[in-house]
Amino acid sequence: MTDNRNTILAVILSGLVLIAWQYFYNVPQMEKQRAQQQAQAELQKTTPQPTASATPGAAPQAGGAAQPSTPAASQQGQPVVARDTAIAASPRVKIDTPRLTGSVSLKGGRIDDLALVQYRETVDPKSPAIVLYSPSGTAEPYYAEFGWVAATGVTAKMPDAQTLWQQDGSGSLTPTTPVVLKWDNGDGLTFRRTIAVDDHYLFTVKDEVSNVGNSPVTLYPFALISRHGAPQVSGYYILHEGLIGYLGDQGLQEYAYKKIDESKQVNFKVTNGWLGITDKYWASALLPDTNAQLQARFSSNPSGNLHTYQTDYLLDPVTVAIGGTATANARLFAGAKEAGVVGVFPFAGLGGYNKELGLNHFDLMIDWGWFYFITKPMFLGLDFFYRFFGNFGISILLVTVIVKLLFFPLANKSYASMAKMKSIQPQLQALKERYPDDKVKQQQEMMEIYRKEKINPVAGCLPVVIQIPVFFSLYKVLFVTIEMRHAPFYGWIKDLSAPDPTNLFNLFGLIPFDPTTIPVFGHYLALGIWPIIMGITMWFQMKLNPTPPDPTQQIIFNWMPLIFTFMLAGFPAGLVIYWAWNNLLSVIQQSFIMRRNGVKVELFDNLKATFAKKAT
């Protein structure tokens, strides 16, 4: 086995591991999912949307314990209305914070109108803000609700989705001005709800009930997050989107929409847990007190042609004595999954809510994956340099240099072995001429030369193998972290998490035509400037080694940079920039080591020979 064969095999295998799933599994899945989502969108245009309440509090279950009911279909049959129309249909209290805007509906007391003002739908700062919550009756209802469930035998009226609360005082909900809502059931119970919000994404809800009636009342505090219809998801295997929670000793629980559709309902009885619904960049989660005993639940309930997804919990019952008052506290996270806010590294100023509230692994709201021990440090390094230079593209370049330095001793041995391998190429060629028909003898003599010269024949694989975990961790960081979303580099790269927007096949925008729209082959006709740069640097790296004597190897050797150029063209621009920069550093490093080992660097000779062949 020659050094070139080892290198080629390592490149091929790593490419298959890193890229094959993208083209042979994920793309068909995404196309299938996109078709399903288009069909569902068309269905929503013609089918009345279920807009029913998700209020718990139907009949209590046996044994006196109550559970939040599944969303009813009392309003099913009503047409879908525009979001602005639904918001205007009920009195509201405005929410106004540096990061959130929206309103609390006085009808039902729900938090059902939220937009993230610091995040836009596209890189255009004038594009609409990201909408997180929407009221019932809209195309995509999504909201949080809090309150009380009556125990068995309690006939007192409880506040529900139709209850019209009254604001105590006036003014908007801001980080410095909480909002107080009140409602009297007319039968001795007065309900009071205080809602506060911080300057990020945390709502604190305090529910109080006073009893001036004729008998004690037993109630169960509850909280829920409800979402009507499965949203559009990214469709990538490496990313979880759906119902999520870290539930005490049962650990992280993740249910994709399809999975919970099959399970219908999953119940947990735990302490020290949180639960919610997560998207790629946004999330909504209930954060009860860490000492609270929870009856938690994930559920999916068919309602017409769609499903309603819900995460909820009940706390232990409280008995409100005559003349007494009971209190229940709840917290809601509703916003962007920013590392510093969620809480990733307490020692790096990124402790966030996970540290401040003493939560149980709330950092896992960001899907770091199985290899989090690589992915999280990669993000930490990128974030560290971003704080100094204000550009994640520069951070990628600097982290690549640091990775090169960390693995320099190992790479140094590898490249030194490759240099020795190159120096014995005349001996290996002589073996083939001496034993042209005896492959076994060739192999035996070859291994003897390796032993004598202290050469590791698989040394050429190490630089590529080392690059695999770095490549994967950077890909994961670019894909899942919101900090990378719409993060610009320089020039035409406005979003490092998206592919290079330029395209060779329309002359980089000179021709007003999008080649990717061509049926069947369009997906492969996305070739931007940075993928081309990456391909050139990879070609240089290949040309640093002598041309393999075997014709088959020569073909693979010559076509590999072009194949990888097309394969990586659809990957995030930040990843392609990393690969190109890494290739360039590898060429410099390998050339230096070859010179130090007395081996001629034939890069320019090989390049000249390549063009000379084309000219003949």
pLDDT digits (tens, 9 = 90+) for 108-142: 999 999 999 999 999 998 899 999 999 998 999 99
CB 184 within 8 A of CB 192: no
Angle between helices 462-480 and 573-596 (to 10 degrees): 160
Please indicate, yes or no, whether residues 58 and 112 belong to a single structural domain of this protein. yes
Last residue of a domain, one of 336, 360, 390: 336
Q: Please report which confidence band the pLDDT of residue 547 belongs to, taking 50, 70 and 90 as the band edges.
A: low
Residue 580 belongs to a domain:
yes
- Lookup: tokens for 232: 């559009």
What are the DSSP calls for 231-256, one per residue? PP----TTS--EEEEEEGGG-EEEEE
Sort strands 142-150 and 100-105 into parallel, antiparallel or unpaired: unpaired
User: Which class for 143: exposed (0-12), middle (13-18), buried (19 or more C-beta within 10 A)?
Assistant: buried
125-135 b/e with 16+ CB inside 10 Å = b?
Answer: eeeebbbbbbb
CB 397 within 8 A of CB 489: no
**Measured distance CA(103)–CA(91) in Å, rounded:** 10
- Lookup: tokens for 110: 């729900």
CB 484 within 8 A of CB 497: yes
Mean pLDDT computed over 560-567: 83
CB 606 within 8 A of CB 522: no
What are the C-alpha distances in Å from 236 to residues 15, 21, 213, 476? Answer: 18, 10, 55, 11
Higher pLDDT: 65 or 595? It is: 595
Last residue of a domain, one of 302, 336, 370: 336
Q: Please report which confidence band the pLDDT of residue 29 belongs to, taking 50, 70 and 90 as the band edges.
A: very low
| pLDDT exceeds 80 at position 287 | yes
Residue 234 belongs to a domain:
yes
| pLDDT exceeds 90 at position 244 | yes
**Measured distance CA(511)–CA(508) in Å, rounded:** 8
| pLDDT exceeds 90 at position 318 | yes
Mean pLDDT computed over 346-374: 87
Q: CA-based angle 252:363:361, to the nearest 5?
A: 50
Residue 31: partners with Cβ closer than 8 Å, 6 or more residues away: none
SS3 528: coil
Higher pLDDT: 244 or 125? It is: 244
Looking at residue 270, which CATH number applies to its domain? 2.70.98.90
DSSP state, 26? I
CB 273 within 8 A of CB 288: yes
Task: Give the pLDDT score at 211.
Answer: 93
Please indicate, yes or no, whether residues 262 and 142 belong to a single structural domain of this protein. yes
Residue 25 belongs to a domain:
no
Task: Give the pLDDT score at 65.
Answer: 39
Please indicate, yes or no, whether residues 185 and 260 belong to a single structural domain of this protein. yes
Residue 129 belongs to a domain:
yes
- Lookup: tokens for 350: 């990124």
| pLDDT exceeds 80 at position 542 | no
Higher pLDDT: 277 or 555? It is: 277
**Measured distance CA(145)–CA(227) in Å, rounded:** 11
Higher pLDDT: 357 or 515? It is: 357
**Measured distance CA(428)–CA(445) in Å, rounded:** 9
Provide the percentage of residues in the chain whose pLDDT is more than 70: 77
Give the tens place of pLDDT for each residue, 379-403: 999 999 999 999 999 999 999 899 8
Which of 376, 463, 370 is CA-nearest to residue 413?
A: 463
Direct distance between the N- and C-terminal alpha carbons of the chain, in angstroms, rounded to an integer: 32
Please indicate, yes or no, whether residues 323 and 410 belong to a single structural domain of this protein. no
Angle between helices 573-596 and 529-543 (to 10 degrees): 20
Report the domain count for the chain: 2
Q: CA-based angle 536:539:543, to the nearest 5?
A: 140
Residue 114 belongs to a domain:
yes
Task: Give the pLDDT score at 309.
Answer: 95
Q: Domain range holding 393? A: 382-417+460-615
Which of 582, 550, 552, 589 is CA-nearest to residue 564?
A: 582
Task: Give the pLDDT score at 603.
Answer: 62
Task: Give the pLDDT score at 135.
Answer: 94
Angle between helices 603-615 and 529-543 (to 10 degrees): 110
Task: Give the pLDDT score at 600.
Answer: 65
Global confidence as pTM: 0.80
Task: Give the pLDDT score at 506.
Answer: 77
Task: Give the pLDDT score at 51.
Answer: 33
Q: Please report which confidence band the pLDDT of residue 404 belongs to, taking 50, 70 and 90 as the band edges.
A: confident
User: Beta-carbon neighbour count of residue 280 at 10 Å?
Assistant: 18
Last residue of a domain, one of 304, 336, 368: 336
Task: Give the pLDDT score at 169.
Answer: 87
Amino acid at site 235: G
Mean pLDDT computed over 231-240: 78
Residue written as token pair 């073996």? 431
Task: Give the pLDDT score at 532.
Answer: 92
Mean pLDDT computed over 236-261: 91
Please indicate, yes or no, whether residues 315 and 397 belong to a single structural domain of this protein. no
CB 235 within 8 A of CB 29: yes
593-607 b/e with 16+ CB inside 10 Å = b?
Answer: bbeeeebebbbeebe
Residue 135 belongs to a domain:
yes
Residue 448 belongs to a domain:
no
DSSP state, 99? S
Please indicate, yes or no, whether residues 70 and 143 belong to a single structural domain of this protein. yes
Mean pLDDT computed over 429-438: 75
Task: Give the pLDDT score at 151.
Answer: 86
Please state which of the ranges 279-293, 310-324, 447-461 shows the lowest mean pLDDT.
447-461
Please indicate, yes or no, whether residues 231 and 308 belong to a single structural domain of this protein. yes
In the predicted model, what is the mean pLDDT of the chain?
A: 81
Which strand (E) or helix (H) includes residue 266? strand 265-271
Mean pLDDT computed over 284-295: 95
Task: Give the pLDDT score at 372.
Answer: 84
| pLDDT exceeds 90 at position 181 | yes
User: Which class for 26: exposed (0-12), middle (13-18), buried (19 or more C-beta within 10 A)?
Assistant: middle
Q: Please report which confidence band the pLDDT of residue 345 belongs to, taking 50, 70 and 90 as the band edges.
A: confident
Task: Give the pLDDT score at 21.
Answer: 45
Task: Give the pLDDT score at 457.
Answer: 60
Please indicate, yes or no, whether residues 410 and 283 belong to a single structural domain of this protein. no
Q: CA-based angle 62:320:155, to the nearest 5?
A: 50
Residue 5 belongs to a domain:
no
SS3 111: strand
User: Which class for 160: exposed (0-12), middle (13-18), buried (19 or more C-beta within 10 A)?
Assistant: middle
Higher pLDDT: 457 or 281? It is: 281
DSSP state, 20? H
Q: Please report which confidence band the pLDDT of residue 243 belongs to, taking 50, 70 and 90 as the band edges.
A: very high
CB 482 within 8 A of CB 278: no
Please indicate, yes or no, whether residues 390 and 534 belong to a single structural domain of this protein. yes
Task: Give the pLDDT score at 302.
Answer: 87
User: Beta-carbon neighbour count of residue 1 at 10 Å?
Assistant: 13
What are the DSSP calls for 518-577, one per residue? STTTGGG----HHHHHHHHHHHHHHHTSPPPSSHHHHHHHHHHHHHHHHHHTTS-HHHHH
Please indicate, yes or no, whether residues 288 and 218 belong to a single structural domain of this protein. yes
Please indicate, yes or no, whether residues 295 and 394 belong to a single structural domain of this protein. no
